[in-house]
Structure 1
Amino acid sequence: MDAVTPLTAAAPAKRARRKQARPGELLEAALALFVEKGYAATRVEEVAARAGVSKGTLFLYFPSKEELFKAVVRENAGRHVADAMREVAGYTGTSAELLREFIQRWWTQYGGTPAAGLTKLIMSEAANFPDLAQYYQDEVVQPSHALVRRIVQRGIERRELRDVDLNLAAHLIVAPLVQLVTWRFSMAPCCPAGLLPEPLALLAMHADMVVRGLRRE
């Protein structure tokens, strides 16, 4: 009997871990399907099946497809922006270094990951789902711009960067990042390999031009 006890005790623990893992698995499956098929064409049944659970289990965690999509956005995009904003407050390097790091980390944490497909999805389906587009704007776009404005403002206050319009600076810094992921999920699969430069090299040059343009004379 003693030999059986550890196996018997382990079974509930395994089920508990499985239950805790389901939200993450559902979000991963939902992200893949949303990026692959778009929001309108993705059915919750498909998400549940890809995650290996029933539709009823999915609705225990996410009461609707809209709430599931919002959770995907929060987990794969909004969370990174919030983390970066907290890190800026404690950053000890120069603002030029911070700008370079922001652009590089944007690619490694978002632009170069499957989650970047959310950008193209929103641009494609915003007219049909304005509430979701507004949510993405509130959760990702505006916080991203606020983060860039904070970095540039930091440089101005420390007299490392020249005084510029913060809103315009944020748009100019972010626009090439959006263009890069739009290309990646639209034209790149149809174009010859090598037509677009290596992303990190392109972003390094973008960061260099931004820093040189903002540096005080």
Structure 2
Amino acid sequence: MQAGHPKWRRRAEARPGEIVQAAFEVFAEKGFAAAKLDEIAARAGVSKGALYLYFETKQDLFGAVVREAVAPNLDMVEAALAQATLPFPDLLRLLFARIGQVITTSRLGSVAKLVIGESRNFPELARVWHDEVVSRALTAVSAAIRRGQERGEVRPGDPRLHAFSIVGPLLTGVIWRETFTPVGAPAVDLEALIAQHADTVLLGLAPWPEDRS
């Protein structure tokens, strides 16, 4: 390539997957409002004009990030929860192992923090995050709890509210890591939190004697 030619000329056409990955990184690092399309394009190695061939707005690009770079992580969670033949305690520990793998090896927490912090000014972020991530996760966990209740492995109660109880502390740990640890707060060992929370949840969801009477 001759000196002075832009980096994106190495390619005959822009690659949407590379743009989405670059956007994921920039959003995670800088948030939504501060992220610049010029920087995303440069990191992807394409021109800003090429970026606009695929994404008309920054909101469109964020939607693609959630659907293509974040939501696929839920596939293995949903697959784990679909193993209905497992006893609920084994299923829950498998779920927590999958969640632990995702939140400790990806920048999912940074994007979650972005949504929480910026959705008031950009409500479309919250809608996409709810539809593509939160709703899917709650539906899958609630269904697994309901099956456990039908087999007598989980105490009575609203499955969706039980699901909130399961997910809540994990989300708190992620937000702590993304928000408070960087400013000097003691770090939270997310793997230890997940393991301890699994024991706590299983104890709390186990049928009580009066539930069996």
TM-score, normalised by the number of residues in structure 2 = 0.84
Quickly say closer, same or farther: Cα 1:32–1:24, change in 2 above 3 A: same
Q: Counterparts in 2 of 1:58-77, with a 5 A limit?
A: 58-77=51-70
- Give the 4+ runs in structure 1 shifted more than 3 A: 18-21
* Distance of 2:25 and 2:182 partners within structure 1: 17
Matches within 5 A, 1:35-74: 35-74=28-67
Asked if residue 102 in structure 1 is aligned to residue 88 in structure 2, the reply is no
Q: Would the aligned equivalents of 1:107 and 1:200 in 2 still touch at CA under 8 Å?
A: yes
Give the distance between the partners of 1:50 and 1:130, measured in 2 at CA.
26
Equivalent in 175, 197, 203 of residue 194 of structure 2: 203
Q: CA, structure 1 residues 91+76, in 2 after alignment: closer, same or farther (shift >3 Å)? A: farther
Root-mean-square deviation (CA), in Å? 2.0
Distance of 1:110 and 1:68 partners within structure 2: 22
Confirm or deny: 8 A CA contact 2:155 2:205 kept in the other structure: yes
Aligned length: 198
Q: 1:89 to 1:20 in 2, by over 3 A?
A: farther
1:47, distance to aligned residue in structure 2 (A): 0.2
Q: Aligned equivalents of 1:206 and 1:108: distance in 2?
A: 15
Q: Provide the C-alpha distance between the structure 1 equivalents of 2:200 and 2:13, rounded to a whole number of angstroms.
A: 46
Q: Corresponding residue for 1:11? A: none
- Which fold has the larger relative contact order, with Cα–Cα distance below 8 Å and residues 6 or more apart in sequence? 1
Alignment CA distance shift 1:111-1:151 (3 Å): farther
How far apart are residue 71 of structure 1 and its match? Answer: 0.8
Equivalent residue runs for 1:115-130 within 5 Å: 115-130=108-123
Deviations 1:84-138 (A, max 9, x none): 3244334432111111221221121235411221110011101101122122112
Give the TM-score, by structure 1 length: 0.83
Structure 1: 5+ residue runs without aligned partners?
1-17
SS of the equivalent of 1:104 reads helix
Q: Is the 8 A contact 1:81 1:147 kept in 2?
A: no
CA positional deviation for 1:82: 4.1
Deviation, 1:58, is: 1.6
The Cα of 1:61 is off from its aligned counterpart by 2.5
- Whole-Å Cα distance in 2 between the matches of residues 152 and 21 of structure 1? 44
- Give the whole-Å Cα distance in 2 for the aligned partners of 1:24 and 1:185: 26
